[in-house]
Amino acid sequence: MDGTRLQGRVAAITGGGRGLGRATALRFAREGAAVMVVDADAANAEAVAAEITATGSRASACRCDVTRRAEVEAMVAATVTAFGRLDILVTYAGVALFKPFLEVDDAEWDRQMAVNVTGTFLCAQVAGRLMVQQRHGRIITVSSVMGQRSGDRRSSYGMTKGAVIALTKHMAAELGPFGVTVNSIAPGPVQTELWLRANPNAAKTRDTYLQNIPMGRLGAPEDMANAAFLLASDDAAYITGHVLNVDGGFIATGVRDGVY
Ligand SMILES: NC(=O)c1ccc[n+]([C@@H]2O[C@H](COP(=O)([O-])OP(=O)(O)OC[C@H]3O[C@@H](n4cnc5c(N)ncnc54)[C@H](O)[C@@H]3O)[C@@H](O)[C@H]2O)c1
């Protein structure tokens, strides 16, 4: 364990079986939180939970499809059974199905809506009801820079992330009076499985991004974990309804002609 800043806290992390969710689960555990690793892929969730318990920290795994209310309710109930409460929810579970706008089909549209938007809604609502009773909670949604800017082939995916940003602000307003903060992290590009599948010409996409990222590199899973930790920590007690871009400056950037 690195620190104790989440000591006594219980976190559920959807999409925790790999990628950004896995990095965040490991980080939260190192800060003392008990972590429920939630994923549709049971084997990956169990592997991450085992990785955490091997270090002496507390973790458990839960297979859950976030698009199904009954499974989300069972996941939150399992978290309370295992650890007694739920303080922090981070909703990484997501899919990215990139296609040119004129070629997006109904199935791709619906699937991204179901996982990215409805999944976020269900997890946040079910966890939020519990947090309101506790008079304490942190909900951290996961949007994207693509919910704020356009990108080739990213219209349907970006639409879902824009919806997550709007939902985050509405939830922040309604849950704030009960001691529950709601914020979103908006990652820039990180070379996870999701990203590599969505960008078949990865080298070209990467080079194009690098021209527009002042920090000169793509993100790392740990960059997102650090941001989620910041929003989960007590230092963020008065931050709510905020979208935290974790993007090396991508959103801030316009013309970059190198003339200083
Ligand atoms: N990687 C990036 O560049 C990037 C950029 C911006 C935003 N994001 C967002 O970050 C989140 C995590 O992305 P990642 O790159 O780690 O992806 P990833 O594909 O590596 O991990 C996503 C995880 O979500 C799980 N999942 C998918 N559908 C699910 C469902 N219905 N129920 C439960 N679990 C489900 C998958 O099994 C997987 O373990 C996503 O919401 C993604 O949109 C990623």
**Mean pLDDT of the region 195-215:** 96
Strand, coil or helix: 215: coil
Task: Give CA 11 to chain center in angstroms.
Answer: 13
CA 194–ligand 1 middle distance (angstroms): 6
- For ligand 1, whether the C-beta of 94 sits within 6 Å is yes
Nearest residue CA, atom 7 of ligand 1? 144
pLDDT for res 85? 97
CA 255–ligand 1 middle distance (angstroms): 30
User: Which of 92, 157, 209, 238 does the annotation list as catalytic?
Assistant: 157
CA dihedral angle for residue 22, residue 166, residue 250, residue 96, rounded to 10 degrees: 50
Is 260 part of the annotated catalytic residue set? Answer: no
**pLDDT band (50, 70, 90) for residue 2:** low
CA 177–ligand 1 middle distance (angstroms): 30
- For ligand 1, whether the C-beta of 15 sits within 6 Å is yes
Each residue's pLDDT tens digit, 113-151 = 999 999 999 999 999 999 999 999 999 999 999 999 999
Q: Are residues 48 and 74 in contact, defined by beta-carbon separation less than 8 angstroms?
A: no
Other residues' Cβ atoms within 10 Å of the Cβ of residue 133: 11
Domains and CATH numbers, the chain: 10-243 (3.40.50.720)
Those residues whose C-beta lies under 8 Å from the C-beta of residue 97, and which sit 6 or more positions away, are 108, 111, 112, 156, 157, 198
Closest CA to 163 of 246, 94, 90: 94
CA dihedral angle for residue 173, residue 174, residue 176, residue 179, rounded to 10 degrees: -170
Those residues whose C-beta lies under 8 Å from the C-beta of residue 39, and which sit 6 or more positions away, are 14, 15, 16, 17, 18, 21, 45, 48, 61, 62, 63, 64, 93
Q: Ligand 1 atom closest to Cα of 197?
A: 19
